[in-house]
Chain A
Amino acid sequence: MDVLTPRTLEEALTLKAVRPEAVPIQGGTDLMVSLNFDHLRPEVILNLNEVAELRGWSRENGVLRLGAGLTYTELLHGEVAEALPVLAEASRTVGSPQIRNRGTIGGNLGTASPAGDALPPLLVEEAEVELASTRGTRRVSLGEFLVGPKQNALSQDELIAAVVVAPSRQPQTFMKVGPRNAMVISVCSLALVADREHGELRAAYGSSGPVVGLVRAPLDEVGSFAERVAAAASPIDDVRGSAAYRRHALGVLAARALERCLA
């Protein structure tokens, strides 16, 4: 096993091109568990902690570019939180302060788990993912990026550079169900935006299907929307909860979220 630590994005992309099997590590909150429990022994680990270009965020013409290395702690407060309250609310539900200090938005995308807490907020805010390689950069919508449970659209030589999102600045909220009151992987979660500007409701559910799913409807179909969200999900029974409960809870969450956002 080997650890490569590039200092610039260019160097990182070159290394990824030469060693496509390299497994990237940023905050380590997913990968380290696999290493500690002897579930994974990659040949090469690509440590992205020292790549300054992946850190921080910027704004251009009202569009936010969130570096892949942005941590949940950085999403909790300040300008990004004001622009994307749904993402800030989701960040507060992620693990503990220690986890939020390390876990990154890019890591959440890379893992592409249906339980990823940042994913439903980004989906309802119609975010795009910026993927970089020595061949150049490309942007894909988050919906296209998430291709299956823990599977994403990254090519072997690509790294996640950033998330790009034009905040809707419409009423929005995030809710996450877990059997204890902190530090829990979601049994199911829901992000919702009541986008009055476009006359649209958008909801994204987590942990209730193979990928995080998006449901849209015209604003005037609010009466049936909660049911539609519950019906759109395809949850399974697992160690964290039952399919029946998840479907039920999604309906409750959606109804409450609508009340919050349309009040």
Chain B
Amino acid sequence: MKIALTVNGEAREADVWAGESLLTALRDRLELPGSKNACEQGECGSCSVLLDGVPVCSCLVLAAQADGHEIVTVEGLARDGDLHPVQAAFADAGAVQCGFCTPGLIVATDDLLRRSPDPTDDEIREALSGNLCRCTGYAKILDAVRLAAAR
């Protein structure tokens, strides 16, 4: 089936299988593999995208449900080739190891800082509790979020 949606500010169309997730559509139909497929059950947050400005797990959105809606993925955050401040902070703080969780964390952090520009540590930890990281133990991610907020 055909869907039409806006992705990273661009009008896109995709021919999707009715049972597939927005994540699969983004990765396999729209050639935007930045959102990651780690668990496909909403437990890890690696596939986080903004759906009409709200962070969601794209693995739990039916591709057909995104028809007519606006999506922003990690690929859509950088502007004019410059890193988004959250992306820069993750790179600078050593918050990236294997990096598989990173796109989802960056989308979730961007959302947090837009809602709460100077979050407490508890706020950061709760806001990012749906993004699993298996490499870092989260310490450097906490540093990165503080760094992004400070900048």
Indicate whether A and B are direct neighbours in the complex (CB within 8 Å): yes
Q: Are B61 and A96 in contact (CB under 8 A)?
A: no
29 A-B residue pairs with Cβ-Cβ distance under 8 Å, sorted by A, are: A1-B17, A2-B1, A3-B62, A5-B64, A25-B62, A28-B61, A28-B65, A32-B59, A32-B61, A33-B60, A35-B19, A35-B62, A36-B40, A45-B62, A45-B64, A47-B62, A47-B64, A50-B68, A96-B129, A97-B129, A98-B48, A98-B55, A99-B60, A101-B55, A101-B56, A102-B56, A102-B57, A182-B126, A182-B130
Closest chain B CB from A77 CB (angstroms): 12
Give chain B residues whose Cβ lies under 8 Å from the Cβ of A25: 62, 65
CB nearest neighbor in A for B104: A98
CB nearest neighbor in B for A30: B60
Q: Would you call B34 an interface residue if the criterion is a C-beta within 8 Å of the partner chain's C-beta atoms? A: no
Closest chain B CB from A97 CB (angstroms): 6
Chain A: interface size category = 20 to 34
Q: Are B59 and A97 in contact (CB under 8 A)?
A: no
Chain B: interface size category = 20 to 34
| Nearest 9 Cβ contacts at the A-B interface | A96-B130, A182-B129, A3-B64, A36-B40, A1-B18, A32-B60, A33-B41, A28-B60, A98-B57
Once bound together, how far apart are the Cα atoms of A2 and B18, in whole Å? 6
Give per-residue flags for B48-86: 1 if the beta carbon is below 8 A from chain A beta carbons, else 0. 100000111101111011011000000000000000000
Give chain B residues whose Cβ lies under 8 Å from the Cβ of A170: none
Q: Are A99 and B65 in contact (CB under 8 A)?
A: no
Among A5, A28, A33, residue most surrounded by chain B Cβ atoms (within 10 Å): A28
Q: Are A97 and B108 in contact (CB under 8 A)?
A: yes
Q: Would you call A183 an interface residue if the criterion is a C-beta within 8 Å of the partner chain's C-beta atoms? A: yes
Once bound together, how far apart are the Cα atoms of A209 and B62, in whole Å? 31
Q: Would you call B21 an interface residue if the criterion is a C-beta within 8 Å of the partner chain's C-beta atoms? A: yes
Closest chain A CB from B53 CB (angstroms): 10
Q: Are B108 and A98 in contact (CB under 8 A)?
A: yes
Q: Would you call A148 an interface residue if the criterion is a C-beta within 8 Å of the partner chain's C-beta atoms? A: no
Q: Would you call B87 an interface residue if the criterion is a C-beta within 8 Å of the partner chain's C-beta atoms? A: no
Once bound together, how far apart are the Cα atoms of A101 and B107, in whole Å? 14
Q: Are A33 and B40 in contact (CB under 8 A)?
A: yes
Once bound together, how far apart are the Cα atoms of A31 and B40, in whole Å? 12
